[in-house]
């Protein structure tokens, strides 16, 4: 099979900044995404929330830009900007008219080395960070349960157990020096990747990157480590009863390999497995639990290989009634047994592969998806060749690979079962 | 079977760079008289279709609340000889995505299909539109999901706030009723109800279509006649009644056991066809559109009272609103509301600055292009442009229309719209220190 290369250029500046250019002339706009290879999993227990709080403070001024001036300037030039923090990555991105790439690159480089974290800006922003946590987590019973599930699955106080938003009591204590130390330790060109997509060329990006990012010295950042083992006290059951829950939920999460941790040869087969087992309304789980037995209102499976450390494989169902939960557990176990016994055959795998590959074609039609894909891959220890080889590696998965992957991951001693249910009492 | 996977792999890795070109919209008229807008773009091997029919949930009988939405969802739950599962398998085998939904005013759908499977994709569309089954067992499934959705929505502060706002501001008008229905009405709906709703709404008069992608005018005309040609002509039901906006201020709280209260504050706005539309757009951007807006600055940046605070214009066939949304800790939400009220008063009294108007114009002119980053997004824009009755060359003039608005118009529209004497405020949570009706 002849494989053509996608239009992509890549190079690395002398200071270690890796640059990827994805040219596309569909519209006269560009997206710059700068991803730092650091996230909340690089924090320590008792000091959670630093990576995310720092992301907020990155908009609060440098030696040359005032608080809020970064975003104000982007908007005044007809562009949009934002940022995100994950367990392994922190990304900053702008989309703007192609002739303003110089502007956003100058500003992004400026805050890579010149951030000023001032107490008077930190104080109100801490409240903003806590409001964000209230909105996303404290107001949402399912999100609070997820925090407990992660703590059980990855082990109390371990990197992926600590919430990216941070614990409230930690965020309240964090000071300017905590954030500054984290910034000095992790924000450097040799710990970042720059992805530019849109109406530009590799030559233009190289020239601008050398001007703006080139002068910032690399720091020789030490490699990050993640635990290679999960906790010893699995399986566990985690339950949350909450007056705010109107519909119960049942899930089971298994520790799973990622592209870079654990038995990573299963990573591609696990993606196929997640789709055929619980990806949409033709999946095994949906047919058995929703369409046929009516035990559940929905059912799904989820797996992402993009993690620097171990990942998780999740199975979930929304029970039609709380009393149906034991039946759901039995039905899920029955469906898993069929897969483990080798019931998955080539034609089912092939249909699933077609769906995965078609979804990727549709994703390529969108300008924003390219930079996000490369950023997520690079920040979790993968390289460009891995991203480019994804279609072939997915297509190469066989039915026996899928069975082997299920046997590797679906083991009780790697599982956390969780139940979200209504509790009595007034609303 | 095997080679098909490899064909997809080749398509994926072989996708070429997209060409730079201005959006050129053709008008297509099919032999059967269906009209569509088309942007031909061969840079990706797919077609995206966005379409809708006149008439939506607002015109359904009160005793059948939720029927339009459920009907739309169930169009892809089996049609013609195919039951729900067979229909879904067909979609998957064609790598086609087909989905429907209902708003107050319209029933709409989108189709996305790879060039290689175009016939199969449009066949499924034809089946869904002309021979939907509404099988009783699927209806039971969807009904249970819809009721569960309602139960969950009642515990999401933001959704409760939005639904209460609509019920309050539109009391007595069809827009007051949420299109997802009520438990009581959902329980009574039968396949026959859904079928008759489908034949009432899925009609060629009032059909709006936009297509983007790897397809030429002639081929699009052929496919549209195949997909939509079997639908009956004829006007959908009578128009909705007009709306009498609130004439007094109201503040309501709905108690929910959450640490952060959700807030929506709404004033009567303007219709899309109003000559002041662009001035209102600029005003709303200055007030609460993004990270440089007055509300963002005063509520979030200066005081840390919220993570999210924004203002936006909403318009439908019969009504317009200017809506401000935020969320703040129960103990501080009263202050957040107070600060927002203060900013509205200041804007009404002192108007905007020249710099704010200039910045808003730059942003609003540029931002539209930023969102047109996929075939589906472009099709969606061309579709809504037709719903709004805008001309085909509208995008060529939009920036000029925005640029032509003088500051004086924005100030005048601020006085026209920012009226606390007709503002409805809904707070959902356990707010402390608010004087309100309950």
Q: What is the pLDDT of residues B37-74, one digit of tens each?
A: 999 988 788 999 999 999 999 999 999 999 999 999 99
Rounded (10°) angle between helices B67-74 and B191-201: 90
Distance, CA of A88 to CA of A85 (rounded, Å): 8
pLDDT in tens, A375-418: 999 999 999 999 999 999 999 999 999 999 999 999 999 999 99
Mean pLDDT of B280-293: 95
User: 3-class SS at A426?
Assistant: coil
User: Per-residue pLDDT for A74 more than 80?
Assistant: yes
The residue ranges of every structural domain in chain B are: 24-228, 250-429
Does the beta-carbon distance from B5 to A80 stay under 8 Å? no
The DSSP call for residue A43 is: S
| Domains B24-228 and B250-429 equal at CATH topology level | yes
Distance, CA of B54 to CA of B231 (rounded, Å): 13
Q: Cβ of B362: how many Cβ atoms within 10 Å?
A: 19
Task: Name the one residue in this structure whose structure tokens are 């390219």.
Answer: A370
- Contact list, B93 vs chain A (CB under 8 Å): 351, 354
Q: Does A398 touch chain B (CB under 8 A)?
A: no
What is the structure's pLDDT at A398? 98
Q: Does A25 touch chain B (CB under 8 A)?
A: yes
Residue of B nearest to A124 (CA): B304
The residue ranges of every structural domain in chain A are: 9-212, 236-422
pLDDT in tens, B165-212: 999 999 999 999 999 999 999 999 999 999 999 999 999 999 999 999
Does the beta-carbon distance from A351 to B13 stay under 8 Å? no
Distance, CA of A402 to CA of A300 (rounded, Å): 17
What is the structure's pLDDT at B21? 43
Which segment of A5-14, A222-231, B51-60 scores lowest on mean pLDDT?
Answer: A5-14
Q: Cβ of A81: how many Cβ atoms within 10 Å?
A: 21
**Banded model confidence at residue B237, pLDDT cuts 50, 70, 90:** low
Radius of gyration of chain A (CA): 23
Q: Does B255 touch chain A (CB under 8 A)?
A: yes
Q: Does B376 touch chain A (CB under 8 A)?
A: yes
What is the structure's pLDDT at B14? 41
Q: Contact, B47 vs B112, CB < 8 A?
A: yes
Q: What are the residues whose beta carbons fall under 8 Å from the beta carbon of B256, sequence distance 6 or more?
A: A244, A427, B155, B157, B160, B428, B429, B430
**Banded model confidence at residue B240, pLDDT cuts 50, 70, 90:** confident
What is the structure's pLDDT at A24? 84
- Contact list, A23 vs chain B (CB under 8 Å): 17
Q: Contact, B222 vs B405, CB < 8 A?
A: no
Q: Does B329 touch chain A (CB under 8 A)?
A: yes
Residues 169-198 of A with CB under 8 A from B: none
Which segment of A93-97, A331-335, B14-18, B35-39 scores lowest on mean pLDDT?
Answer: B14-18
Closest of A404, A415, A382, A392 to residue A266, by C-alpha: A404
Tell me the fold of A236-422: Cytochrome Bc1 Complex; Chain A, domain 1 (3.30.830)
Q: Contact, A187 vs A108, CB < 8 A?
A: no
What is the structure's pLDDT at B13? 45
User: 3-class SS at B417?
Assistant: helix
Bridge partners (DSSP) listed for residue A19: A11, A194
CATH of B250-429, one of 3.90.245.10, 3.10.20.30, 1.25.40.10, 3.30.830.10: 3.30.830.10
Rounded to 5 degrees, φ, ψ at A291 are: -70, -45
Choose from B1, B2, B3, B5 for mutation: most chain A CBs within 10 A.
B5
pLDDT in tens, A12-64: 999 999 999 999 877 889 999 999 999 999 999 999 999 999 999 999 999 99
- Contact list, A28 vs chain B (CB under 8 Å): 20, 369
The DSSP call for residue A129 is: H
Based on DSSP, count helices (H) and strands (E) in chain B, helices before strands: 16, 11
Q: Contact, B292 vs B300, CB < 8 A?
A: no
Q: Residue B251, Cα to own-chain centre: how many angstroms?
A: 26
- Contact list, A131 vs chain B (CB under 8 Å): 260, 304-307, 327-329
CA A346, A349, A350 angle in degrees (round to 5)?
85
Percent of the residues in chain B that have a pLDDT greater than 70, as a whole number:
94
Q: Which residues of B80-103 are buried (b: 16+ CB within 10 A; e: fewer)?
A: bebbbbebbebbbebbbbbebbbb
Distance, CA of B418 to CA of A225 (rounded, Å): 55
What is the structure's pLDDT at B436? 63
Q: What are the residues whose beta carbons fall under 8 Å from the beta carbon of A209, sequence distance 6 or more?
A: A13, A17, A19, A105, A194
User: CA of B275 to nearest chain A CA: how many angstroms apart?
Assistant: 24
Does the beta-carbon distance from B145 to A298 stay under 8 Å? yes
Does the beta-carbon distance from A76 to B359 stay under 8 Å? yes
Distance, CA of B9 to CA of A389 (rounded, Å): 10
Structure tokens of B432? Answer: 């402390």
Does the beta-carbon distance from A126 to B304 stay under 8 Å? yes
pLDDT in tens, A164-214: 999 999 999 999 999 999 999 999 999 999 999 999 999 999 999 999 999
Q: What are the residues whose beta carbons fall under 8 Å from the beta carbon of A162, sequence distance 6 or more?
A: A40, A41, A43, A45, A48
Residue of B nearest to A27 (CA): B20
What is the structure's pLDDT at B22? 60
pLDDT in tens, B110-160: 999 999 999 999 999 999 999 999 999 999 999 999 999 999 999 999 999
CATH number attached to the domain at A9-212: 3.30.830.10
The DSSP call for residue B95 is: T
Structure tokens of B72? Answer: 């739309």
Active site residues of A: 55
- Contact list, B89 vs chain A (CB under 8 Å): 282
Rounded to 5 degrees, φ, ψ at A415 are: -115, 145
Does the beta-carbon distance from B10 to A3 stay under 8 Å? yes
CA distances from B307 to A209, A292, B428 (A): 33, 43, 16
Q: Residue A324, Cα to own-chain centre: how many angstroms?
A: 32
Bridge partners (DSSP) listed for residue A90: A36, A85
Structure tokens of B196? Answer: 């008759």
Residue of A nearest to B5 (CA): A354
Q: So what's the architecture of B24-228 in CATH? A: 2-Layer Sandwich (3.30)
Q: Contact, A71 vs A188, CB < 8 A?
A: no
Does the beta-carbon distance from B303 to A2 stay under 8 Å? no
Structure tokens of A78? Answer: 């007809």
- Contact list, B20 vs chain A (CB under 8 Å): 25-28, 199
- Contact list, B85 vs chain A (CB under 8 Å): 281-282, 287, 291
Choose from B155, B288, B402 for mutation: most chain A CBs within 10 A.
B155
Structure tokens of A393? Answer: 């590696």
Average pLDDT, chain A: 94
E-strand stretches of A6-112: 9-12, 18-23, 29-36, 80-85, 90-97
- Contact list, A137 vs chain B (CB under 8 Å): none
Q: Contact, B53 vs B34, CB < 8 A?
A: no
Residues 91-130 of B with CB under 8 A from A: 92-93, 95, 97, 112, 114
Sign of CA dihedral B223, B225, B231, B236: positive
User: CA of A219 to nearest chain B CA: how many angstroms apart?
Assistant: 33
Radius of gyration of chain B (CA): 24
**Banded model confidence at residue B431, pLDDT cuts 50, 70, 90:** very high
Does the beta-carbon distance from A245 to B306 stay under 8 Å? no
Rounded to 5 degrees, φ, ψ at A62 are: -135, -170
CA distances from A96 to A33, A74, B300, B364 (A): 12, 8, 24, 12
Q: Does A66 touch chain B (CB under 8 A)?
A: no
Residues 145-164 of B with CB under 8 A from A: 145, 148, 151-152, 154-155, 157
The DSSP call for residue A5 is: P
Distance, CA of A257 to CA of A345 (rounded, Å): 23
pLDDT in tens, A278-311: 999 999 999 999 999 999 999 999 999 999 999 9
- Contact list, B45 vs chain A (CB under 8 Å): 361
Tell me what ipTM this predicted complex has. 0.91
Distance, CA of B420 to CA of A315 (rounded, Å): 49
**Banded model confidence at residue B389, pLDDT cuts 50, 70, 90:** very high
User: Per-residue pLDDT for B16 more than 80?
Assistant: no
Mean pLDDT of B25-30: 96
Q: What are the residues whose beta carbons fall under 8 Å from the beta carbon of B340, sequence distance 6 or more?
A: B265, B295, B299, B309, B324, B326
Which H/E stretch holds residue B228?
helix B217-228
Does the beta-carbon distance from A361 to B291 stay under 8 Å? no
Bridge partners (DSSP) listed for residue A295: none
Rounded to 5 degrees, φ, ψ at B289 are: -110, 75
Report the residue from B2, B141, B307 with minimal CB separation from A128. Answer: B307
Residue of B nearest to A138 (CA): B259
Residue B290's region, left for phi above 0, alpha for psi from -120 to 50, else beta, is left
User: CA of A411 to nearest chain B CA: how many angstroms apart?
Assistant: 31
Strands B208-213 and A29-36: unpaired
Which segment of A18-32, A148-162, B257-271 scores lowest on mean pLDDT?
Answer: A18-32
Distance, CA of B263 to CA of B423 (rounded, Å): 13
User: 3-class SS at B273?
Assistant: coil
Bridge partners (DSSP) listed for residue A300: A316
| Domains A9-212 and A236-422 equal at CATH topology level | yes
């Amino acid at each position: 099979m002849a494989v053509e290369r996608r239009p992509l250029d890549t190079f690395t500046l002398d200071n270690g900044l890796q640059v990827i250019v994805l040219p596309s002339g569909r519209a006269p706009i560009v997206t710059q995404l700068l991803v730092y290879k650091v996230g909340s999993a690089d924090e320590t227990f008792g000091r959670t929330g630093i990576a995310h709080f720092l992301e907020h403070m990155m908009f609060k001024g440098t030696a040359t830009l005032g608080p809020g001036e970064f975003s104000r300037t982007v908007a005044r030039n007809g562009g949009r900007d934002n940022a995100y923090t994950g367990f392994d990555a922190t990304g900053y991105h702008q989309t703007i008219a192609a002739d303003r790439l110089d502007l956003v690159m100058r500003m992004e480089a400026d805050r890579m080395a010149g951030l000023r974290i001032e107490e008077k800006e930190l104080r109100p922003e801490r409240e903003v960070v806590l409001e964000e946590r209230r909105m996303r987590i404290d107001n949402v019973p399912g999100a609070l349960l997820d925090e407990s599930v992660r703590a059980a699955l990855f082990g109390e106080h371990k990197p992926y157990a600590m919430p990216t938003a941070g614990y409230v009591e930690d965020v309240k204590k964090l000071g300017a020096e905590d954030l500054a130390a984290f910034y000095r330790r992790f924000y450097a060109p040799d710990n970042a990747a720059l992805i530019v997509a849109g109406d530009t060329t590799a030559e233009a990006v190289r020239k601008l990157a050398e001007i703006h990012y080139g002068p910032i010295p690399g720091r020789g950042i030490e490699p990050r480590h993640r635990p290679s083992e999960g906790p010893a006290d699995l399986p566990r059951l985690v339950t949350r009863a909450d007056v705010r829950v109107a519909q119960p939920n049942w899930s089971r999460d298994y520790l799973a390999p990622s592209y870079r941790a654990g038995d990573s040869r299963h990573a591609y087969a696990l993606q196929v497995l997640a789709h055929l087992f619980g990806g949409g309304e033709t999946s095994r789980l949906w047919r058995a639990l929703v369409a046929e037995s009516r035990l559940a209102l929905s059912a799904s499976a989820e797996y992402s290989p993009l993690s620097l450390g171990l990942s998780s494989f999740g199975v979930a169902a929304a029970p039609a009634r709380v009393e149906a939960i034991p039946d759901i557990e039995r039905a899920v176990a029955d469906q898993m047994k069929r897969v483990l016994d080798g019931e998955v055959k080539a034609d089912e795998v092939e249909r699933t592969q077609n769906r995965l590959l078609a979804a990727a074609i549709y994703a390529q039609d969108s300008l924003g998806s390219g930079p996000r894909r490369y950023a997520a891959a690079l920040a979790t220890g993968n390289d460009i060749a891995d991203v480019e080889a994804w279609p072939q590696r997915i297509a190469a998965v066989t039915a026996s690979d899928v069975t082997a992957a299920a046997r590797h991951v679906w083991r009780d001693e790697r599982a956390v079962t969780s139940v979200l249910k209504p509790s009595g009492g007034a609303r | 079977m095997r080679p098909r996977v490899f064909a997809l792999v080749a398509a994926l890795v072989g996708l070429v760079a997209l060409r730079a070109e201005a959006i050129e919209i053709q008008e297509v008229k099919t032999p059967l008289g269906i009209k569509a807008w088309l942007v031909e773009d061969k840079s990706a091997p797919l077609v995206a279709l966005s379409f809708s029919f006149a008439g939506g949930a607002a015109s359904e009988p009160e005793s059948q609340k939720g029927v339009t939405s459920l009907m739309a969802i169930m169009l892809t739950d089996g049609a013609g000889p195919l039951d729900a599962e067979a229909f879904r398998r067909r979609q998957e085998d064609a790598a086609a995505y087909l989905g429907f939904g209902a708003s107050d005013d319209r029933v709409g759908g989108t189709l996305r299909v790879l060039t290689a499977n175009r016939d199969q994709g449009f066949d499924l569309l034809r089946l869904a539109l002309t021979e939907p089954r509404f099988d009783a067992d699927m209806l039971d499934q969807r009904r249970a999901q819809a009721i569960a959705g309602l139960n969950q929505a009642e515990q999401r502060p933001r959704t409760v706030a939005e639904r209460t706002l609509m019920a309050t501001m539109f009391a007595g008008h069809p827009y007051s009723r949420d299109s997802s229905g009520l438990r009581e009405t959902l329980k009574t709906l039968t396949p026959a109800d859904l079928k008759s709703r489908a034949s009432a709404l899925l009609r060629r008069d009032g059909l709006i279509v936009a297509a983007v992608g790897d397809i030429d005018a002639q081929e699009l005309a052929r496919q549209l006649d195949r997909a939509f040609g079997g639908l009956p002509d004829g006007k959908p039901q009578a128009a909705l009644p007009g709306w009498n906006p609130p004439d007094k201020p109201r503040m309501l709280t709905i108690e929910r056991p959450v640490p952060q209260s959700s807030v929506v504050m709404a004033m009567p706005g303007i219709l899309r066809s109003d000559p002041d539309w662009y001035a209102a757009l600029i005003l709303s951007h200055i007030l609460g559109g993004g990270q440089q807006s007055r509300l963002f600055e005063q509520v979030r940046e200066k005081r840390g009272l919220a993570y999210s605070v924004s203002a936006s214009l909403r318009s439908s066939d019969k009504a317009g609103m200017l809506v401000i949304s935020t969320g703040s800790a129960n103990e501080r939400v009263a202050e957040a509301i107070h600060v927002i009220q203060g900013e509205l008063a200041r804007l009404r009294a002192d108007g905007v600055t020249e710099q704010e108007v200039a910045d808003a114009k730059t942003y609003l002119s540029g931002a539209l292009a930023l969102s047109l980053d996929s075939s589906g997004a472009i099709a969606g824009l061309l579709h809504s442009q037709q719903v709004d009755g805008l001309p085909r060359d509208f995008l060529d003039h939009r920036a000029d229309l925005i640029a032509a608005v003088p500051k004086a118009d924005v100030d005048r529209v601020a006085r026209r719209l920012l009226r606390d004497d007709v503002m409805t405020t809904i707070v959902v949570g356990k707010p402390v220190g608010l004087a309100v009706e309950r």
